[in-house]
Amino acid sequence: MVMNSEKLIFVTNDDGYQSKGFAAAIEVARKFGRVVAVAPERAQSGMSQAITMYNPVYLKKVRDEEGVEVYSLSGTPVDCAKMAFDYLFEGRIPDLVISGINHGSNAAVNVLYSGTMGAAIEGSFYGCPSVGLSVTSHDPDADFTAAVHYGEQIIRSVVEGGVPTPLCLNVNVPDIPFEEVRGVKVCRQTRGYWREEFYSRQDPHNRQYFWLTGGFCNAEPDAEDTDEWALAHGYVSVVPVQVDMTDYAKMDALNTVLKH
């Protein structure tokens, strides 16, 4: 029998190695085995699947104690995953990846922009179960009680239940008191997109600057099988994520017009 302590768990985050959510994710991960955690030096929200191509990156060990090693990296969340899998682990594949706990929702199309989900997706490429965990509050002091409780429960169910890999989960927890959470709901990604409003001012040098700010346009607010609906109705949403973005439904039409 494999001892719990022999399992290797990789943890990362996009809010940076000093964020409260990263510390919370490490505590969840410790329940499953030995933890190696790598997070960006600075907050990297909205970094998507970005990688650092034009600069070198620096790795620094910031914590080393029984069962937990933590590093900071001067790169993106996906850089952190690559650094762990392709350098630190020397070819060993961990038993589990946890990315988070993210401050802010990664439901719906946010999965495309999210550094948390970028790193979770990257982790899933290596063949271990990978879970991105987020709360829908942007408060740096957000209450992680529900995220920790349901995150651990979902991870345990998936690991013990033997759901086949590749497996990547986008788990979002509503920003409501723990006792009001109605349970866990397996969902699909909501259709919709972000429309932006650019907040614009003059800087002290009289140059006009713009700051991105916007809102999500939900294309199907009444669809009860979507992650946005689940969150709005008090459920923890679980969306399994895969990376084949081919729009198969368009192939016939394209073949027809491109033959001429």
Smallest separation (angstroms) from a copy of itself to the CB of 62:
15
- Kindly tell me which of 59 and 176 has the beta carbon lying closer to a copy of itself: 59
What does the H/E/C string look like for 113-170?
HCHHHHHHHHHHCCCCCEEEEEECCCCCCCCCHHHHHHHHHHHHHHHHHCCCCCCEEE
- Of 2 and 255, nearer to a copy of itself (C-beta) is 255
In whole angstroms, the minimum distance from the beta carbon of 225 to a copy of itself comes to 9
Nearer to a copy of itself, 59 or 62 (CB): 59
**CB contact at 8 A, 151 and 181:** no
Q: Name the phi and psi angles at 30, rounded to 5.
A: -60, -25
Tell me whether residue 35 or residue 124 sits nearer to a copy of itself (CB atom). 124
Kindly state the tokens that stand for 165: 């890999």
Shortest distance in whole angstroms from residue 66 CB to a copy of itself: 26
Minimum CB distance to a copy of itself smaller for 23 or for 241: 241
CB 248 to a copy of itself: min, Å: 7
The Cα–Cα gap between 97 and 124 comes to: 8
> Toward a copy of itself, which CB reaches closer, 5 or 153?
153
CA-to-CA dists, residue 13 to 26, 54, 88, 124, 259, angstroms: 10, 22, 17, 15, 46
Question: Side chain identity at 222, as an amino acid letter?
Answer: D
Residue 42: CB minimum distance to a copy of itself, A: 9
Closest approach, Cβ 193 to a copy of itself, in A, equals 4
Using a 10 angstrom Cβ sphere, with 0-12 exposed, 13-18 middle and 19 or more buried, the burial of residue 257 is exposed
Closest alpha carbon to 32 in 129, 125, 113, 126 = 129
State in angstroms the smallest separation of the CB of 46 from a copy of itself: 4
User: Which token pair is 55?
Assistant: 């600069």
- Nearer to a copy of itself by Cβ, of 180 and 203: the residue is 203
